[in-house]
Structures are given as structure tokens and as C-alpha cells.
Amino acid sequence: MGDADLVFQSYGRACNNPSFFEEFYSNFMSKSPDIRAMFVNTNMEAQRGLLRGGVLWLIMHARGMSDAKIRALGESHSKKNMNINPMFYGFWLDALLETLKVYDPEFTPELELCWRSTLRPSIEMIQDMYDK
């Protein structure tokens, strides 16, 4: 099985639990007051649902799906739209991995490396679109 398939299965095990996304945002916001500030006016229930799909797009992209959804994220998160500085994606990925470690009962250090290498190209594409 390829890395992206292992990651797909890991995500299925972890995001089964409805509190996965609550825990993710709690971990993510604890990384920086700037991140917390970006979500003060956000409907977090809706946001958790959007992120569920967003993570899936990154995984599907790694499994060969077109980059249309990734480009849409790059556009919405870019400087001229939501203005998400590229430096925040490292925190995002760390918060995701911390959450997976707790919610995927089959998590291993090897699987962490699979997650990081699988999501990296999509995240880099989003970061590159910041000031395009």
C-alpha cells in the first residue's frame, strides 16, 4: 500500500470521532494568539465540517486527484483574500499530527512521516499561491 493510502485509512480511523476536529482547533489555536484571533468571529461548528473536507482534498490530491480543490484553498487563503501567512502552515500540520496521535489508535512514528510527506506537496502549493 502506498503512503497516501495508509494516510487515507489513518484519517478514516481518526476523524470517525466527532471530537477530532474540536481537539484539532484547540491544539491549533494554542500555537499562537494570532491564530486564535483569526477565528474569533468564526462559526466553529461549520468550520470543523469544512476542515473535515479540506483534509480529505489534500489526501485525494496526493492520491492523484486534480489540483482544483487545492488551488481553491490557495486562492481563499492567499494574501488578497484571507491573508494567511505561509508561516502558519507548519503550526497547522503539527496540530494535525498531535491530534492524529491521540485519535488514530494505530498511529506510529512511521505513519507520522507518511502523513507529513503525503500532505507536503499540497501545502506547498497553497503556500506558493500566497502572493500570486
d(CA 30, CA 32): 6
102 with 23: CB under 8 angstroms?
yes
* Residue number with CB closer to ligand HEM (53 or 105): 53
Q: Compute the least distance from the CB of residue 55 to ligand HEM, in Å.
A: 6
* Residue window 108-127: x/- pattern of binding to ligand HEM, with contact defined by CB under 6 A: ---------------x--x-
Grid coordinates in use for 123? 501545502
H helix intervals, the chain: 3-15, 20-29, 33-38, 44-62, 68-76, 88-103, 109-128
φ, ψ of residue 63 in degrees (nearest 5):
-90, 10
**Taking CB under 6 A as the criterion, which residues in 47-106 touch ligand HEM?**
47, 50-51, 54-55, 58, 73, 76-77, 82, 84, 88-89, 92
Residues that bind ligand HEM (CB under 6 A): 35, 38-39, 41-42, 47, 50-51, 54-55, 58, 73, 76-77, 82, 84, 88-89, 92, 123, 126
